[in-house]
């Protein structure tokens, strides 16, 4: 993955924290609606990278 995408994802995550996935998802949708394909592709890659950085949500059941 491109270092620019990683640095962009890190900057978004640092600025928005737990809300970063939602922010990126909204940005992807907005750019797609505007017809900005290049911007959409960049933000989609940032969103995918944020899924790696985001903390995993724990499921309701725990197996021991």
Q: Can you give the pTM of this predicted structure?
A: 0.79
Element (H, E) at 44: helix 37-53
Please provide the distance, in angstroms rounded to a whole number, between the alpha carbons at the two ends of the chain: 36
pLDDT in tens, 10-62: 999 999 988 999 999 999 999 999 999 999 999 999 999 999 877 666 666 65
* Interatomic CA distance for residues 47 and 31, integer angstroms: 13
């Amino acid at each position: 993955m491109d270092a620019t995408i990683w640095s962009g994802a890190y900057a978004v995550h640092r600025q928005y924290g737990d809300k970063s996935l939602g922010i990126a998802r909204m940005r992807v949708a907005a750019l797609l609606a505007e017809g900005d394909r290049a911007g959409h592709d960049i933000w989609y890659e940032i969103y995918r990278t944020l899924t790696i950085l985001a903390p995993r949500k724990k499921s309701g059941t725990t197996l021991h």
